[in-house]
A and B are shown apart, each in its own frame.
Chain A
Amino acid sequence: MATAPTQEFKIIGTRPVRPDGVDKVTGRAKYGADYSFPGMLHGKVLRSPHAHARIKSINVDKALKLPGVKAVVLGKDLPELESKIEFIGEISLNPHYLAHNVLARDKVLYNGHAVAAVAATSPHIAEEALALIEVDYEVLPPLLDVREAMRSDAPILHPELRNKEEPDKQTNVASHVQFKRGDLEAGFKAADYIVEREFDTSMVHQGYIEPHNAVGVYNSDGHATIYCSTQGAFDVRSMSARVLGMPVGNIKVVPAEIGGGFGGKTTVYLEPLSVALSKATGKPVKLIMTRSEVLRATGPTSGSHIRIKMGATKEGKLTAAEVWMAYEAGAFPGSPVMAGAMTILAPYVLDHLLIDGYDVVLNKPKTAAYRAPGATNAAFASETVIDELAEKCGIDPLQFRIMNGAKEGSLQPAGPPFKRIGMIETCQALANSPHYKSKLVGKNRGRGVAIGFWFNAGMQSTATVNIHTDGSASVVTGSPDIGGSRASMAMIAAEVLGLSFEEVRAVVSDTDSVGHTDVTGGSRVTFATGMAVYEAAQDAVRQLKERAARMWERKFDEIDFQAGKAISKNNGVPPMTVKEIAAKFPRTGGPITGRASVSARGVGAAFAACCIDVEVDPETAKVQVLRATIAQDAGRAIHPSYVEGQMQGGTAQGIGWALNEEYFYDQAGLMRNSGFLDYRMPTCLDLPLIEPVIVEVPNPGHPLGVRGVGEVSIVPPPAAVANAIYRAIGVRMTELPMSPPRLFKAMKNKRS
């Protein structure tokens, strides 16, 4: 394992047990669905049985007459918001669309679109009430294919939607992004080999095991509290306030433990409804989605159609690339096509490129972020074509990538040059892994490699570090802990304060008790919230030094702080521990709280490289993954076990995406696989052990060298699996997922 020297650290780089661990292995940890309040009601949501329809009327009389039913909320009961782009927190979105996704008004735009919400004395009664709500629909033709949705004669989802290029025309194309550099024609002219392919990928879901949930408690003084499992309590607060027409400060969001998100729990669905129902009934109201609701009505990530043409000289130098990509936004604008365009060619030095990306609405659920959103679809296309070029050049596929790899100073497709990045080091770490060095033997087996890029996010975070009266400390942040971040926050604080890990408790706080903090997402918690914790701990150290100076009657500059002790530089008094300083708080100025807020700059881009061995059953076209290794640049691994966990988890999701996961719609636009039986995520029998190789090329933009680690590992596996399948049986797959029926068809086409 390639690791940078960590001798300078005592705690960073070790693997302590997470502070919330015992609660989570004993069943004590409280997730959103575990909250209950006296007199609490239960809510359920009526959802559209159609993919596209006009709502002519809704009659709730019968539902309200069912004993136990206390309220029904419809779209018309929520404020109508103007359609325009706003910044809510750091997220730019259109509150009109957000509100219409939470509860449909005049039109339903996908199978599962929320139409009404009911509160009753039991979840069973609320469910029975849904069947009594009479909705008269005028069914409209559904749009299910991204290229059909782009046609000028396609049915229109949003009559008011316009893009900048054709401001006078109704359209389903919400936006077009373009990156351009050099002279494409000259670039392709310089190529000895040109490969041009088209790729289709299906919508896939984040697949967190915990369904969305929310408990809303509205008080008659106009204040409300929401308990929910979310990646961003502050975003839930601001989005819910917008949808409900309430002041932001009147809502408190208490982030419960969260049972997975992967980007999918960064927006609101049930949260505003829980408050609206609570307001209507005067009681706390809890809503929990079923798995079918989660799949049909919360954000998956985009399906896509990508055309890519790349050229290389016979010596293996990439000369030019042209990309055309259309991403499904779902029912409302906002696919990650921009991120797809920013990432698709980013790992490589390319003088001549053209990338066009289109954000397209159609009758599927509104997409939400999913782990490096947009990048996996893109890498499936580009990394397959790169593999084909390497083969034509007769160069080892990993060496081919290293030869063309981006370094510090290389220009990104979007323009700016890279700062210090670890693309080459990551590829080399994979090349040096026992897996890549081993020989794969056996019939119908193949090995594939691919790499992935993700830019990671900075954004805002707040942290406070409280020194307790016994010299221990707590670190309070607003970043929900989705994968062990309490541990890394406590480790950073302990490192700075010179305390043991056990002496520092990490707490995730509600929106009233800590300053604004953006989502747990974008691989940003250890980077940005970690930066805030580092600075807050430094602030506490500064105050500890002040107290020591006061007690010793010295100047501040004469005090040092090392290994948890204040030291007077110029005389022989024995050092003072944090504990000793804390014992004197009442007489030296009161308690110490270190504070920091950051709008983090210096974000460090992440690369991952993946090697996968597969075996294909030549008769059934079923693919078995035999071995997988993932190398990734973490910058600095604070808690290596949880860094490995992110790498392994992302790889597993990428393998699921590669082989079997997809949204399956029938011609009417109804989702036919809205359960874990037929939305096929990998079980532990489907995966091998996944070998993680942590690479540490410190990020110069972070005090501890941290890059984000949460996302990039999902990017390479689908392409790596495709490349492995090619080497096993000679078939190049251009569709995801590469499920047995699809691979069978491709194998048959190749034979004929």
Chain B
Amino acid sequence: MANKKHVQCTINGEHTEFLCEPRQSLLETLRDVLGLTGSKEGCLTGDCGACSVLVDERVVCSCLMLGVEAEGKTLVTVEGMAEESELHPLQQKFLDNAALQCGICTPGFLVAAKALLDRNPTPSEAEIRYALAGNLCRCTGYDKIVHAVLDAAKVMQEA
């Protein structure tokens, strides 16, 4: 379509170029244009956080950002959390704590939790609950997610 824009940005450490229509959200661009389907669509209104990604180190709902707005930005998605073949401590602790059941909210929780730990390496339970309040999970009652983030913070402090 003639209306498509050329966008350059960095995604998960890689320089990336793509074409997208202005009406395509960043989420749609990641999933349908770039094939990065790890970010999930839950509501398209910014209420569930399943589409959370980092943009210039801030956590945002990629459903409420346009693909064209990514121009010049540095993005991290769930696909970029693991280093080489080693899982991020958050990913490992989510597994160890059984902090996921269906797993659809997990990418968003991991990204939001990473944003939290990047700024606050030793959060309290209350701080974790506040930081993750924009991510809905319907399976776990959040209990094991909160424990996983506490454990990951501990492991990262010790490392």
Interface pair A687/B103, CB less than 8 Å apart: no
| B36 interface residue (CB < 8 Å to A) | yes
Residues of A with C-beta under 8 A to B130: 685
Residues of B with C-beta under 8 A to A31: 37, 40, 104
How far is A644 from B143 in the complex, measured between Cα atoms in Å?
10
Interface pair A683/B23, CB less than 8 Å apart: no
Question: Which of A21, A124, A642 meets B95, CB within 8 Å?
Answer: A21
| B79 interface residue (CB < 8 Å to A) | yes
Residues of B with C-beta under 8 A to A515: none
Residues of A with C-beta under 8 A to B97: 641
Interface pair B138/A642, CB less than 8 Å apart: no
Number of interface residues of B (CB under 8 A): 57
| A198 interface residue (CB < 8 Å to B) | no
CB contacts under 8 Å to B, within A1-44, are 15, 17-18, 20-22, 24-31, 33-34, 36
Interface pair A684/B133, CB less than 8 Å apart: yes
Residue from the set B102, B106, B136 with the largest chain A CB neighbour count within 10 Å: B102
Interface size bracket, A side:
35 or more
Interface pair B139/A26, CB less than 8 Å apart: no
Residues of B with C-beta under 8 A to A124: 21, 23
Closest approach, in angstroms, between the C-beta of A612 and any C-beta of chain B?
Answer: 13
CB contacts under 8 Å to B, within A469-498, are 482-484
| B105 interface residue (CB < 8 Å to A) | yes
B102 (CB) vs chain A CBs: closest residue: A260
Interface pair B102/A210, CB less than 8 Å apart: yes
Interface pair A685/B129, CB less than 8 Å apart: yes
Interface pair A209/B105, CB less than 8 Å apart: yes
Closest approach, in angstroms, between the C-beta of B138 and any C-beta of chain A?
Answer: 5
Closest approach, in angstroms, between the C-beta of B89 and any C-beta of chain A?
Answer: 11
Residue from the set A17, A30, A36, A645 with the largest chain B CB neighbour count within 10 Å: A645
| A190 interface residue (CB < 8 Å to B) | no
A481 (CB) vs chain B CBs: closest residue: B102
Residues of B with C-beta under 8 A to A639: 98
Closest approach, in angstroms, between the C-beta of A710 and any C-beta of chain B?
Answer: 10
Q: With contacts A17-B95, A25-B100, A209-B48 known, is A291 near B141, CB below 8 A?
A: no
Closest approach, in angstroms, between the C-beta of A76 and any C-beta of chain B?
Answer: 31
Interface pair A27/B79, CB less than 8 Å apart: yes
How far is A26 from B101 in the complex, measured between Cα atoms in Å?
15
Closest approach, in angstroms, between the C-beta of B86 and any C-beta of chain A?
Answer: 11
Residues of A with C-beta under 8 A to B110: 25
Interface pair B102/A687, CB less than 8 Å apart: no
Interface pair B78/A676, CB less than 8 Å apart: no
| A258 interface residue (CB < 8 Å to B) | yes
| A89 interface residue (CB < 8 Å to B) | no
Residues of B with C-beta under 8 A to A591: none
How far is A484 from B94 in the complex, measured between Cα atoms in Å?
13
A335-343, A646-654, A728-736 - interface stretch: A646-654
| B18 interface residue (CB < 8 Å to A) | no
Interface of A is mostly: loop
Residues of A with C-beta under 8 A to B132: 684
Interface pair B138/A260, CB less than 8 Å apart: yes
Interface of B is mostly: loop
A205 (CB) vs chain B CBs: closest residue: B138
Interface pair B136/A683, CB less than 8 Å apart: yes
Query: Could you mark each residue 74-92 of chain B with 1 if its beta carbon is under 8 Å from any beta carbon of chain A, else 0?
Result: 0001110110000100010
| A211 interface residue (CB < 8 Å to B) | yes
Residue from the set B102, B104, B141, B143 with the largest chain A CB neighbour count within 10 Å: B141
Residue from the set B23, B81, B82, B140 with the largest chain A CB neighbour count within 10 Å: B140
| A383 interface residue (CB < 8 Å to B) | no
Q: With contacts A258-B102, A684-B145 known, is A25 near B95, CB below 8 A?
A: yes
Question: Which of A15, A33, A34, A676 meets B43, CB within 8 Å?
Answer: A676
How far is A31 from B39 in the complex, measured between Cα atoms in Å?
11
Query: Could you mark each residue 10-34 of chain B with 1 if its beta carbon is under 8 Å from any beta carbon of chain A, else 0?
Result: 0000000000010100000001100
Interface pair B37/A34, CB less than 8 Å apart: yes
Closest approach, in angstroms, between the C-beta of A156 and any C-beta of chain B?
Answer: 36
Q: With contacts A645-B101, A648-B140, A684-B129 known, is A27 near B48, CB below 8 A?
A: no
CB contacts under 8 Å to A, within B39-75, are 39-45, 47-48, 50
How far is A124 from B130 in the complex, measured between Cα atoms in Å?
35
| A262 interface residue (CB < 8 Å to B) | yes
B111 (CB) vs chain A CBs: closest residue: A27
Interface pair B81/A26, CB less than 8 Å apart: yes
Interface pair B45/A677, CB less than 8 Å apart: yes
Closest approach, in angstroms, between the C-beta of A578 and any C-beta of chain B?
Answer: 27
Interface pair A24/B144, CB less than 8 Å apart: no
Residues of A with C-beta under 8 A to B142: 652, 684, 687
Given contacts A21-B95, A483-B101, A644-B98, 19 further A-B contacts (CB under 8 A): A25-B107, A30-B37, A33-B31, A33-B40, A124-B21, A208-B138, A209-B105, A290-B44, A291-B44, A641-B98, A642-B98, A649-B139, A649-B140, A676-B43, A683-B134, A687-B142, A687-B143, A689-B125, A689-B146
B-side residues, CB < 8 A to A, are 21, 23, 31-32, 36-45, 47-48, 50, 77-79, 81-82, 87, 91, 94-98, 100-107, 110, 125, 128-130, 132-146
Query: Can you name 15 A-B pairs with beta carbons within 8 Å?
Result: A20-B103, A25-B94, A207-B138, A209-B138, A210-B40, A210-B102, A259-B102, A259-B105, A260-B101, A291-B43, A483-B102, A484-B98, A484-B101, A645-B139, A684-B137
- 7 pairs of A and B residues whose beta carbons are closest in the complex: A27-B38, A259-B104, A652-B141, A676-B47, A24-B103, A641-B98, A648-B141
